[in-house]
A and B are shown apart, each in its own frame.
Chain A
């Protein structure tokens, strides 16, 4: 089992719709969860982080965390073509080194 799993996509949504991106992780003791966005040819940039169970909202973005199910998601409301990118889920582990492990990313396409 991969440590952090994401569906590679592409996930296609029409402009204005809600895009839902999902991620599961294997380290039950993980405490910190991050979403990065990577545009083609660019480096990943952090867009959201969440540490506690439940929802965290920031503008059009909502991160959801369910530690019991080892599941974290990112919702993008009112999707825009400029949101088209690859979204990477990252998990900071519970071990002594607190390694940050990335999923391979989900490619999102917002269709105008």
Chain B
């Protein structure tokens, strides 16, 4: 987990509220990935971003979910009007562009619980 910071680690929201999940990538990494994981299930790709650009959002629900990775500051995954089914672990990973033989590093995840 070489430096990917996610916060908060745990987030509790009531149905209908907004959840904002933050991810600060490894210093120098310009690519960020967001994944969702339900208990006992695999990682599900949501969105892939480069600084100021969404490259691939094919895994992200069209409604209520959005993601950004601004020029300055962390990447944000935003879930509006949360529902019970949004309860999951959300992992962020970052990787370096321009260098083929480097891996993606994961953060510790944010556990979202919708009550």
Number of interface residues of A (CB under 8 A): 25
For the complex, is B55 an interface residue (Cβ under 8 Å from A)? yes
- Of all chain A residues, the one with the shortest Cβ separation from B104 is A100
For the complex, is A34 an interface residue (Cβ under 8 Å from B)? yes
With a cutoff of 8 Å between Cβ atoms, the chain B residues found around residue A103 in the complex are: 42
Which of A38, A90, A105 interacts with B103 by CB under 8 Å?
A90
Residue among B42, B56, B93, B101 with max Cβ neighbours from chain A (10 Å):
B42
Q: Is the pair A32, B1 in contact by a Cβ cutoff of 8 Å?
A: no
Chain B interface: which size bin? 20 to 34
Give the B-binding residues of A (Cβ under 8 A).
8, 31-32, 34, 36, 38, 43-46, 49, 51, 86, 88, 90, 92, 97-105
Q: Supply 13 further A-B pairs (C-beta < 8 A) apart from A49-B103, A97-B31, A99-B48.
A: A31-B101, A32-B100, A32-B102, A44-B91, A44-B93, A49-B101, A88-B43, A92-B103, A98-B100, A100-B31, A100-B103, A102-B43, A104-B43
Give the A-binding residues of B (Cβ under 8 A).
1, 31, 33, 35, 41-45, 48, 50, 55-56, 91, 93, 95, 97-98, 100-109
